[in-house]
Amino acid sequence: MKKELLSLSLILFLIIPIISAPEIILSKESYQPRETLQAEITGNFLSLKSENILIYQGDKVHSDPVIKDLTKQDNRYYFYAILPNLESNFSLRIQNIQYIESGKLKTDDLIKNFTIILSNESVLAIDKGFIVTNKDFSITIKALNKNQDISAVLEESGESKNFSLIEETEKNIVFSILNLVSRKSFLNINNYKIPVFVTKKQSEIETEGNLEFVPSSLTGTISSEQDYIFKIIIENSGNKTISNIKLSNNFNAEISPNTIDSISSGNNSYIELKIKKPKEKIIGDIIAEYNNKTTRAPVAFDLTINNSNVNIIDAGIIEEETLSCTSIGVICTSTQTCNGEITSSLEGACCKGQCIEPVASTNYKWLYGLILIVLLIIIIVWFVMKIKKKKRIETSESILNQRNSRYSRRMNPSEEVNGKLDKI
């Protein structure tokens, strides 16, 4: 039993990747004007091109260097550029790049600061910061600041070149790759290390395609009480379109789609992996078959019944909305309110807290409205009646009675008579 546990632990150790954020590593932090900048760039990038990499002087983009290049080798990117003849604070920036970090798809800028300062130190301007070749290659070296003795050695073969350069002069030297195997080596030129990648013949490269899963493995701890959907990238890193790709797995999960018609060179496609309420530990592979070749992505998940122990270490693009709400909260009804954070899930809005029923309360708004309406009606009726009263037409009988009454009062000796007698 101990041997089996030890074997399982060793397998998990070997397939669980080290998770780190994308990073730019420069060959040095301070350069001299016209020196060759070298950088290694690591990360799970969806794609990275030379146009994404810019050199900034302060907060402004500096004009592109005349000589620069980028290559991807063994899941690492290598970049170089001939720096400007200028002293200042600079930065190397990768802009609007998409990458995967801890299972999340992110879009961000990566920045690495450096300085260009003139000093008396002997430095070189080298026209290449890396070499990718399938044949003998040449490289040009220029001495800056002072006369220099140059020693250039190709590690893999031991071939060496030794010569002297006068300040501001350059020399082109040639190295042979005869009998070298297809792997990474270094060309050491004084204190500079130039990566050298010997590849197959171009005719062989053009007939090949190569698929890679991003990320290269899926690991962690998941709940046995829920379904999981993982979104994974499958990328063609070869030099030719790959057609008729068949996808499968050997641990009873669902893959959609299970076939991809084609992926052209440098492009990618998404696949979804669905694991339904796993009953036991998962150890297996996602498999892509194409052109009589096979690419695998190892999968290893432990199980837990405690949702607080769920820990998806590196499982492709897995946003919270792809998870079931049963693992992260509860679904509230239309009459309930959530007293915590609300997030997305497979079932819809999910409450990371408790669903609270609304407190019943008497609403008097309708009564106030009714009273206002009644008052308005009363006011309207009063105004209408007043207007009608003023407009009422008097009859001849009422007019005669009014005049008789006024005449009687005027003829009464006890009353003082004012006005004309004809005005009754």
**Model confidence pLDDT, tens digit, residues 217-263:** 788 888 888 888 888 888 887 778 898 999 999 988 899 889 998 88
How many structural domains is the chain composed of?
4
- Kindly indicate the confidence band of residue 189, based on its pLDDT and cuts at 50, 70 and 90: very high
DSSP symbols for 214-277: ESS-EEEEEETTS-EEEEEEEEE-SSS-EEEEEEEESSS-EEESSEEEEE-TT-EEEEEEEE-S
Helix (H, G, I), strand (E, B) or coil at 383: helix
Highest mean pLDDT among 80-94, 313-327, 369-383: 80-94
For residues 217 and 311, membership in a common domain is answered with yes
Burial label, 225 (beta-carbon count in 10 A; 0-12, 13-18, 19+): middle
166 pLDDT higher than 90: yes
297 pLDDT higher than 80: yes
Q: Domain boundary residue among 131, 165, 199?
A: 199
Q: Domain boundary residue among 199, 234, 262?
A: 199
For residues 19 and 101, membership in a common domain is answered with yes
- 228 in Cβ contact with 222 (< 8 Å): yes
Total-model pTM: 0.54
- 250 in Cβ contact with 213 (< 8 Å): no
For residues 21 and 112, membership in a common domain is answered with yes
What is the percentage of the chain residues whose pLDDT exceeds 90?
25
Residue 375 main-chain phi, psi, to 5 deg = -60, -40
- 325 in Cβ contact with 303 (< 8 Å): no
If you average pLDDT over residues 129-148, what whole number do you get? 91
Q: Domain boundary residue among 328, 361, 394?
A: 361
Q: What is the pLDDT of residue 165?
A: 93
Name residue, tokens 């990073």.
Answer: 23
**Helix intervals (H) in 293-364:** none
Q: What is the pLDDT of residue 39?
A: 95
Q: What is the pLDDT of residue 10?
A: 41
Rg (C-alpha) for the chain, rounded Å, is 43
Q: Is residue 62 part of a domain?
A: yes
Q: What is the pLDDT of residue 103?
A: 61
Beta-carbon contacts of 196 under 8 Å, excluding residues fewer than 6 positions away, are 130, 131, 133, 137, 154, 156, 184, 185, 186, 187
Q: Is residue 231 part of a domain?
A: yes
Write the pLDDT tens digit of every residue in 338-360.
Answer: 888 777 554 556 788 888 887 65
Report which DSSP code applies to 83: P
Q: What is the pLDDT of residue 58?
A: 85
Q: In angstroms, how far is CA 282 from the centroid of its own chain?
A: 28
Q: CA-to-CA distance for 322 and 319, rounded, in angstroms? A: 6
Q: Which domain holds residue 242?
A: 210-318
Of 175 and 8, more confident: 175
Q: What is the pLDDT of residue 207?
A: 47
CA dihedral 195, 198, 203, 209 (to 10 degrees): -70
What is the percentage of the chain residues whose pLDDT exceeds 70?
76
Write the pLDDT tens digit of every residue in 31-79.
Answer: 999 999 999 998 878 778 888 898 998 888 887 666 789 998 887 899 9
Q: Is residue 7 part of a domain?
A: no
Q: Is residue 414 part of a domain?
A: no
393 pLDDT higher than 70: no
Q: Mean pLDDT of all residues in the chain?
A: 79
For residues 190 and 216, membership in a common domain is answered with no
